[in-house]
Chain A
Amino acid sequence: DAGVTQSPTHLIKTRGQHVTLRCSPISGHKSVSWYQQVLGQGPQFIFQYYEKEERGRGNFPDRFSARQFPNYSSELNVNALLLGDSALYLCASSLGQGMNTGELFFGEGSRLTVL
């Protein structure tokens, strides 16, 4: 079975541009979460989607947005890129949300560099 797949794996943007990152969850998983991992730190929560609805948002500016599609895949959009947005963006899927179904399975990530 395929794991969580993310695209693109690497990308370079300049300040002010926007970016769209894509994620396909594990088959049968209905929840997708996005995390930002800056070099040398642990992942930071950005969004959680379950059954195509936003169920949680971390402490990130409105430049960050996301959505989940009927097939449970997801997109993360970041507008007006800043240098500080350079990071590894991780998508994680889970079967559900709560206990015993909320284990996160991560993709390989999308490495974003903003120049």
Chain B
Amino acid sequence: EVQLLESGGTLVQPGGSLRLSCAVSGLTFSAYAMTWVRQAPGKGLEWVSTITSRHGGDTFYADSVRGRFTISRDNSQNTLYLQMNSLRAEDTGFYYCATTIIRYFADNWGQGTLVTVSS
């Protein structure tokens, strides 16, 4: 059974930093590109970032997070990361990780981790 487990979400002050993790099991992690998607309270889904399958792979970011967030992966630990710096109130929400298949369709999803940016 494929499982994705996000962690690291918490309350953080504006301007602060946080690192989210996504532990993946049940598949060959190194073969999959990975994606982060978020949902602000009362809003819809928003794509955040994607990384291709190889360690240190190509990365893609939403304009709203480029320069502040960094996606990375450790294929030896089957873990995806999202380093979030200079956090803003509008970064508040649930963050989901997902494995992606052809043309980056997100097929397996985690349950999400909640990030709250507030003073």
A and B associate: no
Taking Cβ atoms with an 8 Å cutoff, the residues of A that contact B are none
